[in-house]
Structure formats: structure tokens, C-alpha cells
Amino acid sequence: MKASANLALALAGAARAVAQVAEGRSLNESGLAGPGREAQIDLCFGTLRRYGRVQAIADALSHRGRAAPRVQALVWCALYALDSGRYANYTVVDQAVRACGLLEQIAARGFVNAVLRSYLRERQALERRIAADQEASLQHPRWWIDTVRRDHPLRWEAVLAAGNQRPPLCLRVNSRRAQPDAYLDLLAESGMGGRRIGASGILLDAPVPAARLPGFREGLVSIQDFGAQQCATLLDLAAGQRVLDACAAPGGKSAHILELADVQLTALDIDPQRAARIAPGFERLGLSATVRAADCSVLQTWWDGSPYDRVLADVPCSGSGIVRRHPDIKWLRRAADLPAFALRQAAILDALWQVLAPDGRLLYVTCSVFRDENAAVLEAFCDRTPQARRCELPDGAASSWLPCAEHDGFYFALLTKGA
């Protein structure tokens, strides 16, 4: 364990961010910054991954009812800090009390001190008390638990457990500039370890910032989950093809496509700010393509009438397969969101089908583990689209990739357009 004089700053910063998420705002809007940013991120993400647990404990100990939002969030973050084992217990309690002043909640110091000390005294009894509460023990909302159990009856517990873990860090080696085995040697020279996974992937033994990766600025590698790396390989690419990445930002899958084959690529994204991030990534990797900000479902705003041989439709979804990377999703999603996502996904499929060439291939992808966004959407599309034929994935790959220690959760479906 270690003590940290800056823990109060980190707890205050994390509490601000978690309080904003609790009020319905995305973690992307939280602006985690300043001294101790890495500690803030650890506290914030760790707290949000323990969605139900810290709430249940705080509620059990807060006999006067819920405190002000930032104080409530501070208690959650401090409970995670105590559970993490990274700090001495007395340090967490002391620094959480100090953080009240940084949050302009001086009057809450006694409350925070009392709740945390009660937790340390009553920890074993509290564990028994909350064990029967599924939201607390499985650390997901009840509707989420029920949906995963329904869709994956044999693996639902493993799926939920994966959503509470730290994600793996996987690299994709740029085959135009390096080879995986040679890059492993570069990692070793820099004191880092990893292992090969797939044709171009390297799974790191421990996560590091991108700036520390050898050759990152020179475009030797990119950070990309191994599941996401399947998209380009499943498209059966060949030189000269016209290829569309319809929901491309931030551009990782588009870049992989260009690394694998000399194709004519168009990368679209509906969000102009996100679309603007694509070209700089291409430049770092030594790649080029047509990049546009456009809604792929509104063809008249971007399509020139020439069909595409390959279409990648990595559609907007709940993100339930990548929740460990974006733990605020568990706070922000609602069961009612799934039908809305399914409608948007159906509209994108209907539009992109029109731009696909005869005998062309369209790969439908989500980073969701929910059937409502995956098989249900594909089945409905095939029922209303007589020309659509479902293809077996290359090498017998599975459609559903559930999150595990090596990759996030994804769904893949490959369609071809018949006569």
C-alpha cells in the first residue's frame, strides 16, 4: 500500500466526474485533468465499474439519507479507494475529508468521516448484507442483468464479470511498416512484454500510454482491441475494391482496411468533430482515403451513385460489449434505449444495402452483447430484403464475441447481395 498527499485532489476530481455521470452526463464531458490525472481516472473508472456495490454500501451507512451529489460521489470514490488496496485505510479517510474542502462541501466533513469509518468497522457485516442484492454483487443495473441472462443463459455471469474488469490493451501492427515479431523485440528493448494474438495483434502484458509505445508516432502500431481487428479481416479485401466504412470515427477500422489492401476507401461519420480525427490517424500511419462528415443513412448527401464492393457498417449501439472501457454506460443506458438503437440500425442497413454492388459484401458490426441490437436486427432485415443472403464468416468465426480477458464484446454478420 502507499500513502499519497495528492489523494485528496484525485478524489475531488473523480467525485466531480462521477457526480456528473450520476446526473446523466457522459464521462467524456467530465474534463478529468490537472495534477494527478492518472489517479483521478483510476478512481473514477474504478468507482463506475463498481456501479451497484458502492451505492449499496453508501446507502446502508448513510442513515440521514443521501447527501449532496458531489458528497455522495466522493463517498463512492473513497469506498472504491478503500477496496482497491492501493492506499492505507487511514490515508483514504483523511484525504476524503480533505477533499470536502476542495469540493466546497466543508460542512460534509463529519458525514464523510463517519461513513468511511463505519464501513471499515462494519465491512464484513455489510458484505453479508449486500450479497443478496444482485445490483450490488454483480455491479450492473437490474434490467441489464436480466437482459444478459436472457440472451446468454449459459455465460451471463461471465459476461457481467468481464464488464467489471480492467480491459486488455491490444496493439495492431501496421503491416506496411512493421511485422509483429519484430515489434515484440522493440517492446522488449523498451522493457515491455506482450504476446502475439491473431495475424497483426499484440496483447500487452500491462497497459501503457500510447506515447510510451516504441514507434507509435512513426506509425508502426495502433491501439485497437482484438475484437475490433476482426472487422477488416472478415471483409475479404482485395486490391482495387471500392470500400465504404459507413460509421468510421475515430478511424481505427478504416486504417486497418488500408493497411491490408490497396482499396479505394471512403470513410464517413455523422459527427463532424469525430470525422476530423480520422485523417490525422491516417497521416501517422502513412495512409490516405476520402473522409467525409455525413449521415450514411441519407444517401443524397454523400453518395455519388457508384456501388461499393465492400461495406463496413459498424453501427451505433448501446456499447454493452465495451462497458469496461466506458463504465459510465452502465449509469446512462436504459432498457428503453435498445428499441431506439434497433430502429437506427435498421435504417442504416436499409440505406447501405442500396450502395452495395451485386455480389458485394456488407459486414454488420456492433460492440453490443444484447440480442435486440444483433441477431434480432439481422433477422428482421433479411426477412424484408429478399436479395440479402447471410454468409458464413471466414475460418468459421463466431458471430458473437463475448467479452473476455483477450477482447471486448462484438457481434459480426456478413451479408452478400444476390440477384
**Residue 60's CATH number:** 1.10.940.10
Give the confidence band of 334 by pLDDT, cuts at 50, 70, 90: very high
181 and 123 in a common domain:
no
CATH number at residue 275: 3.40.50.150
**Residue that wins the pLDDT comparison between 280 and 395:** 280
The answer on 261 and 194 residing in a single domain is: no
157 and 183 housed in the same domain: no
> Would you state the pLDDT for residue 5?
59
Residue-wise pLDDT for 145-154, tens only, equals: 999 999 999 9
* Confidence grade of residue 1 (pLDDT, cut at 50, 70, 90): very low
User: What confidence score (pLDDT) does residue 21 get?
Assistant: 93
| 30 pLDDT tier (thresholds 50, 70, 90) | low
- Tens-digit pLDDT profile for residues 384-394: 999 999 999 98
Same-domain check for residues 190 and 267 = no
User: Within this chain, do residues 61 and 153 fall inside the same structural domain, yes or no?
Assistant: no
pLDDT in tens, 154-199: 999 999 999 999 999 999 999 999 999 999 999 999 999 999 999 9
Provide the CATH number for the domain around residue 214: 3.30.70.1170
199 and 157 in a single domain? The answer is no
* Assessment of whether the complete model's pTM goes beyond 0.95: no
Task: Report the pLDDT value the prediction gives residue 2, as an integer from 0 to 100.
Answer: 46
- Please determine, for residue 38, whether its predicted confidence score (pLDDT) is greater than 90: no
Last residue of a domain, one of 139, 157, 188: 139
- Mean pLDDT computed over every residue of the chain: 94
Tell whether the model's pLDDT for residue 207 goes beyond 90. Answer: yes
Confidence of residue 51 (pLDDT cuts 50, 70, 90): confident
SS3 track for the chain: CCCCCCHHHHHHHHHHHHHHHHCCCCHHHCCCCCCCHHHHHHHHHHHHHCHHHHHHHHHHHCCCCCCCHHHHHHHHHHHHHHHHCCCCHHHHHHHHHHHHHHCCCHHHHHHHHHHHHHHHHHHHHHHHHHCCCHHHHHCCCHHHHHHHHHHCCCCHHHHHHHHCCCCCCEEEECCCCCCHHHHHHHHHHCCCCEEEECCCEEEECCCCCHHHCCCCCCCCEEECCCCCCHHHHHCCCCCCCEEEECCCCCCHHHHHHHHHCCCEEEEEECCHHHHCCHHHHHHHHCCCCEEEECCCCCHHHCCCCCCEEEEEEECCCCCHHHCCCCCCHHHHCCCCHHHHHHHHHHHHHHHHHHHEEEEEEEEEEECCCCHHHCHHHHHHHHHHCCCEEEECCHHHCCCEECCCCCCCCEEEEEEEECC
Report residue 6's pLDDT band, with 50, 70 and 90 as the boundaries: confident
Together in a domain, 64 and 150: no
Average pLDDT over residues 93-107: 95
Find the domain containing 323 and state its range: 140-166+226-419
Q: What is the pLDDT of residue 394?
A: 87
pLDDT, mean of residues 328-344 = 96
The region of weakest confidence among 57-71, 178-192, 298-312 is 57-71
Find the mean pLDDT for residues 326-332. 93
- Are residues 220 and 311 both part of a single domain? no
pLDDT (tens digit per residue) in 215-233: 999 999 999 999 999 999 9
Residue 34 confidence (pLDDT) above 80: no
Domain count, the chain: 3
Same domain? For 211 and 262 the reply is no
- If asked whether residues 75 and 181 sit together in one domain, one would say no
The reply to whether 283 and 134 lie within a common domain is no
| 238 and 189 assigned to the same domain | no
Tell me if 1 is assigned to some domain: no
404 is catalytic: no
From 208, 224, 240, the end of a domain falls on: 224
Catalytic site residue from 100, 170, 367, 391: 367
